[in-house]
Amino acid sequence: MLLNKKVDYNNYLFACWFFNKNIVDLLSKSLDVGIQKVSIISGFDIVIEVLAKNIYIILLFLNKHTLCQFKTLIDIVCYDEPKKKNRFSIIYNCISFYFNLRCRVVTKVNELSNLLSVMGIYRSANWSEREIFDFFGVFFGGNKDLRRILTDYGFKGFPLRKDFPLSGYVDIYYDDNQKRICYRNLELSQEYRNFNLKNLWV
């Protein structure tokens, strides 16, 4: 072991970049169908943009291939861009402890599209898929336990969508008389004002 010797950091960075470049070339040649873009960020992280229908095949390849071995799914991240046709970007963050590499697999869907669940590859994907379904409404086909995980029972809507109102649709309060939590439809009453646009101080 080289514990007491100085490691040339530049050579280490070059070795990481070269190894990542080989993986990128392998992905481009082996899985050309369905991969839209492959890039390396900061010399370490591999970013793969794929079509939604091929997400399962590509993650299976990254998990099983001897030059990849991305055996661990850290988490699945989703964010919403309402003005785009495919408004939801789903990011799968994987790590290979064997090669000390990280990989992001990015795909985009809309509110009517379904994604195939990757629980057959990564069992840890269950909670992340449930959370994305709960907050964004993205449906994962093949996940048999796709229940809401953080919002209340009977909650309507998907709170992390950009078009979801900040106040929500339902008001939750505790009633002292009934000694229980109650629900009522939220009504925002606001006094109507007449604005005089010519005079800015009125």
Q: Strand pairing of 45-50 and 101-109?
A: parallel
CATH numbers and ranges of domains, the chain: 9-153 (3.30.460.80)
d(CA 140, CA 4): 49
How far apart are the C-alpha atoms of 191 and 56, rounded to whole Å? 53
Q: Are the beta carbons of 93 and 77 closer than 8 angstroms?
A: yes
Give dist(CA 166, CA 170) in Å, integer. Answer: 11
- Compute CA distances 37 → 11, 29, 96, whole Å: 27, 12, 20
Its pTM stands at 0.76
Instruction: Identify the CA nearest to 33 among candidates 20, 51, 48.
Output: 51
88 - beta bridge partners? 80, 109
User: What is the chain's pLDDT, residue by residue, as a tens digit (202 residues)?
Assistant: 344 444 455 555 555 656 666 777 777 666 666 777 777 777 678 888 899 988 998 899 889 888 788 999 999 999 999 889 999 999 999 998 888 888 899 999 998 888 999 999 999 999 999 999 999 999 999 888 888 888 877 778 888 988 877 767 777 778 888 888 887 777 666 555 565 556 555 4
Of 159, 125, 163, 160, give the one whose Cα is nearest residue 142. 125
